[in-house]
Structure 1
Amino acid sequence: MIKNEKIKASEVHLTGIHGEDLGVMPTKEALELAKQLKVDLVCTSLMSSPPPCKLIGAGQAKQEALQEKQQARKREQAPKIKELRLTPHIEDHDLDTKRQQAERMLQGGDAVQLVVKITGKEGAQAKALLESLVKDLSAHGRKQTGIQLSGKQASVQLDPL
């Protein structure tokens, strides 16, 4: 972020404190206006000519830069995969609780791995349970993989939308 006297362009396209367009003006005039209003002149992009600049309160410029860095860091992080374990004979209330947990995880940007533990001939029940959960959570996430039955468990992974 380039501020005040560090802006080397001869002209800037200025935006006022409240977002109003003040047009193209020489950099010196823009700096004088910023000093009169006791704010900073901040260049938002150097890719265009004349570069767009804003009049921003002194503390606000630092705060915006910090927020931008945090957002960029958040976008860089890969979604974590969180696992929820269930059984085919789960009670309705417990199922609702697991569904709400999965919704919260998906809304938070994490992927959810739903795993149903199987003993004996419960494969069909487990698959039906996972299908109903995937259908209920379709507003918050989509299936990355199909439902996989393997040995003692059935699982499916949901990615956030």
Structure 2
Amino acid sequence: MRTDLGGPISVEPRVNDQIRAREVRLVGPEGEQVGIVPIERALQLAADVDLDLVEVAPMARPPVCKLMDFGKFKYESALKAREARRNQQQTVIKEMKLRPKIDSHDYETKKGHVVRFLKAGDKVKVTIMFRGREQSRPELGRRLLDRLSQEVADLGFVEAAPKQDGRNMIMVIAPHRSLKVAARGAKPGAEGVEGEVAPAEVAASNGTGE
């Protein structure tokens, strides 16, 4: 059975002679309400002012059409979409690995990395790695994660609470919105995607504190 009889679905509004309704609710070029008029009348009004008749609300009964310069409308819409993509903030997730019995010096070093990541507007996945009999003491890992989250609370918040994942315990800390906005302004065009860990930072954070 053929499924393509209808052809491709257009994502653009119908314009001028493409509009099939017998009558439309017409809106003028400045947004003024003209009222419900026959399609022939609407097309004539568009021709009189050298504009296009564009169907802006096809599901309405009758459909709503507006008089506008469709070419200019498409151009401006494309510019807005491009600007929105350029301004879209992309999130990088960095990872920091710790052992439940990490010594104080290594802990402070790794906390410094977390602080730096958060100030840069990045999320941080903090992983506690348990080995051997440490797996029977998950409270050690939770206590360490709670301590870390409290000590960086002025920079970020716990987005994903500590959760046991096999021999690891994982928590995600996200920067406060103000930091993300500031970091975006300081690094225009910075790239990164959700779930990506920058290789250079992995090298800096892969130590286990042993």
TM-score range, shorter chain: 0.5 to 0.7
**1:3 to 2:18 alignment:** no
Unpaired runs of 5+ residues, structure 1, are 75-79, 106-111
Between structure 1 and structure 2, the one with the greater Rg is: 2
Pairwise mapping of residues 15-26 of structure 1 onto structure 2 (< 5 A)?
A: 15-26=27-38
Which 10-residue stretch deviates more, 83-92 or 34-43?
83-92
Structure 1 residue 48: Cα displacement: 2.4
How do residues 138-157 of structure 1 correspond to structure 2 at under 5 angstroms?
A: 143=159, 145-148=160-163, 151=167, 154-156=170-172
1:33 is aligned to 2:52: no
Look up the SS of the partner of 1:2 in the other structure.
coil
Once the two structures are superposed, what CA deviation does each residue of 1:20-49 show, in whole Å capped at 9, x if it has no partner?
Answer: 222111111211111122221111233222
Distance 1:137 1:27, change over 3 A: farther
What is the rounded CA distance, in whole Å, between the counterparts of 1:45 and 1:128 in structure 2? 55
Q: What TM-score, normalized by structure 1, do the two folds share?
A: 0.60
- Correspondence for 1:115 among 126, 144, 165: 126
% identity of equivalent residues: 22
Q: Which runs of 5+ in 2 are unaligned?
A: 1-12, 99-106, 135-139, 178-210
How far apart are residue 53 of structure 1 and its match?
Answer: 0.7
TM-score (norm 2): 0.49
For residue 119 of structure 1, report the CA deviation from its aligned partner: 8.6
Q: Does 1:46 align with 2:62?
A: no
Contact kept in structure 2, 1:117 and 1:154, CA below 8 Å: yes
Q: What is the SS of the residue equivalent to 2:59?
A: coil
- Structure with higher RCO (Cα < 8 A, 6+ apart): 2
* Equivalent of 1:83 in 93, 107, 126: 93
Greater strand percent: which structure? 1
Alignment RMSD: 4.1
Counterparts of 1:92 and 1:63, CA distance in 2: 49
